[in-house]
Amino acid sequence: MKKVFSPLFADFWRILSTISPRNRTKTYLLFLLMALQSALELFFILTLTYLGAALTSPTMLNENYIFKGLYFLSPQLKAWGQNPRYLLLIAGCIVVTASALKNIVSYIAGRTTIRLSERVSIDLGEEIMQRFLYSNYMWHLSAESSSAFQCMQWRSQLALMLISQLSMYACMLTVIILFFSLVGHEPALTTIVICFLSFSGFMLYRFLRQNVDKSALCMAESVQDETRAILCATRGIRDVLIYRQQEVFLQSVVRAAERGMSARVFNTIAPTIPTWVLESIAFGVVVIALFYLVFIEQADIPRITMALGLLLLTAWRVMPYANRVVSFQVTIRSVHPMAMAVLELLEKLRNEPRAALPTPDENFSFVRCLSLRNVCFRYPGAEKDSLKNLTLDIPVGKKVGIIGPSGGGKSTLVGMLSGLLEPTGGKIMVDGQPLTPSRAAAFAQFIGYVPQTPFLFAGTLAENIAFSQWGKPWDKERVRDACRKAAIDFVDNHPLGLEQSIGENGAGLSGGQAQRVSIARAMYTYPKLLIFDEATSALDQANEDSIQRTIQHLSDEVTCIIVAHRLTTVEHCDFIIWMDKGEIVLQGESSYVLEQYRASQRHGSNAK
């Protein structure tokens, strides 16, 4: 029973507690609007019975409380009510008015429902994206970041589930109200009809639930596999082409899509199945009611005509709502796995401290030295530290090289200096003061970072260079200055110049050109701390020499940190840090450290 009712009721309250108070209030108001819609539906049916009574027994209408109220408000109507023809006209006007009111409220309810669904989806997406963007770098290295990306795509399913549940409750309320109104006129007959339809509806839902659950799970897994294959192929297209894996990835995408095809077909058609089945059952109910009236009650023709007329009139309005109840249940089950994944992620994120960008310290200054004091760092789940008791001083304006074998801790140290990683031990200091969150926020404004693998997005060259000022008009002179410093020589040769388009991930540019765009991006900010993380490895010697000349001619206020495997890249640095196994092996004047490092490499080579 829990599996049946949890998605229908318990999960509704979980979702309701997750959305914002404003949307929660809108949900309550929407339900009241839907309740009004149900009441107007009942009123519309009553007006239809009045129209029928005006045709067959007009004198009975004058005793009706609604008509008495109208006569009280307007004596002229009372005079007209004595004439059967005028009475029929009054009843017809009431039907038209009731129909108009019902349809106006239905339009308002439908529009409000869609707007609420969109607002919930937008707000959930904003919250997930906020957590995604404001979480620390370590969180982005975990598997949770990919879960957040998937949930961003599925957030509309959670909104759909909430709206489907709310709409289902409103339809159930309408069905209950209409059936209770029928009970007042035909208690025995209505009881038989309710029992038969309830049993049929429950069995139909039970059959659909089992199949929809399987299909929904299959769809979710299919989408995940398809997305994974597409992202892997598009992001690694170079390797795909080199290793000739095109057919493998193509078939992976096709197989993932085909695995979910049957499930998608069933879940698409499943909401319409109740309409077909319950429509057939409804005609069967009419036959059962007729059997009851003829053989059990021994009713005469007028009695049978009146009872069946009322039953058919009610069924005419009830069946669409009954169909919707089951259809909404099917929809809820079909989106349940994806909606619950989003809900569980939101609940988990809300149990964690909310990240926020601290306000930069207005009194921050970086004019003397960047220091590390006994700094240690260990990645979550690791058995040992990646950085071990590092102590060093980097004076402002100096050019510092970082060398060492792969896995020696160079990138981790750069992550620490750039502010992406926080030490698990020791402290980082700027101008002799610890780097508190507010000071770190201020320090980040002075940092320019050039990674080994540049990130470029689909847009113009200028937009990519001015990425640090995203959303603001880019400064043409600053962009040109950054291009000059980064030795970008392909701008003037292009007819569009700075407005030339760049594809996703730098499509259309060579590796060296893409790297120079990344360097220009760092130069655009006029940084005081410029970090090159293997940034020139993709450049030829001529372009690297040009970048080196730019670095050498930077202002004495700019501090450069250069991580490199190629030792010639750091030959002109003021001093060099030699890293190995998370420790500083040696630091000092460039010529001395490089001599010792080369000797170590020769010794290691001879030992082998």
The ranges of the chain with pLDDT < 70 are 1-8, 50-84, 86-87, 143, 146, 182, 184-186, 189, 235, 238-239, 242, 302-303, 306, 309-311, 313-315, 317, 353-356, 495, 497, 535-539, 543, 555, 604-608
Judge if 282 and 418 occupy the same domain.
Answer: no
Judge if 231 and 329 occupy the same domain.
Answer: yes
**How far, in Å, CA of 349 to CA of 135, rounded?**
10
Helix (H, G, I), strand (E, B) or coil at 365: coil
Residue 364 lies in a domain: no
pTM of the predicted protein model: 0.69
Report the CATH number at residue 75. Answer: 1.20.1560.10
What single letter denotes the amino acid at residue 273? I
Report the CATH number at residue 578. Answer: 3.40.50.300
Contacts of 256-261 with C-beta under 8 Å, sequence gap 24+, read 256/222, 256/225, 256/226, 256/229, 257/222, 257/226, 259/218, 259/221, 259/222, 259/225, 260/218, 260/219, 260/221, 260/222, 260/223, 260/226
Of 315, 350, 385, the one marking the end of a domain is: 350
Residue 302 lies in a domain: yes
Judge if 251 and 395 occupy the same domain.
Answer: no
**How far, in Å, CA of 531 to CA of 537, rounded?**
14
Helix (H, G, I), strand (E, B) or coil at 388: strand
Judge if 343 and 373 occupy the same domain.
Answer: no
Judge if 283 and 394 occupy the same domain.
Answer: no
Judge if 383 and 499 occupy the same domain.
Answer: yes
Distances (CA, A) of 442 to 287, 398, 430, 438, 600: 80, 21, 11, 6, 40
* Structural domain boundaries enclosing 293: 2-350
Residue 361 lies in a domain: no
Name which of 407, 409, 369, 415 is nearest 390 in CA terms: 409
What single letter denotes the amino acid at residue 244? R
What single letter denotes the amino acid at residue 275? T
Total number of domains constituting the chain: 2
Contact assessment for residue 293 and residue 233, using Cβ atoms and an 8 Å cutoff = no
In angstroms and rounded to an integer, the radius of gyration of the C-alpha atoms of the chain is 36
Residue 363 lies in a domain: no
Contact assessment for residue 329 and residue 205, using Cβ atoms and an 8 Å cutoff = yes
Q: How many CB atoms lie within 10 A of CB 480?
A: 17
Residue 110 lies in a domain: yes
Judge if 38 and 144 occupy the same domain.
Answer: yes
Judge if 402 and 445 occupy the same domain.
Answer: yes
- 577: which strand partners? 402, 587
Residue 240 lies in a domain: yes
Residue 359 lies in a domain: no
Contact assessment for residue 450 and residue 533, using Cβ atoms and an 8 Å cutoff = yes
Mean pLDDT of the chain: 80
Q: How many CB atoms lie within 10 A of CB 608?
A: 5
Name which of 67, 102, 103 is nearest 82 in CA terms: 67
Judge if 310 and 428 occupy the same domain.
Answer: no
**How far, in Å, CA of 413 to CA of 162, rounded?**
47
Length of the chain: 608
pLDDT value for 606: 47
**How far, in Å, CA of 505 to CA of 503, rounded?**
6
Residues 6+ apart with CB under 8 A from 170: 31, 34, 35, 37, 38
Name which of 508, 254, 534 is nearest 406 in CA terms: 534
- Residue 453 is classified by DSSP as S
Judge if 342 and 383 occupy the same domain.
Answer: no
Pairing of strands 369-377, 387-395: antiparallel
Residue 357 lies in a domain: no
pLDDT, one tens digit per residue, over 337-347 is 888 888 888 88
Q: Where are the alpha helices (DSSP H) in 135-186?
A: 137-140, 144-185
pLDDT value for 293: 77
pLDDT value for 1: 47
Judge if 435 and 528 occupy the same domain.
Answer: yes
Judge if 78 and 163 occupy the same domain.
Answer: yes
CA atoms within 13 A on the CB side of 146: 9
pLDDT, one tens digit per residue, over 128-137 is 888 777 777 7
Pairing of strands 425-430, 433-434: antiparallel
**How far, in Å, CA of 243 to CA of 226, rounded?**
21
Tokens for 12, please give them.
């509704």
pLDDT value for 228: 80
Residues 6+ apart with CB under 8 A from 384: 378
Of 316, 350, 384, the one marking the end of a domain is: 350
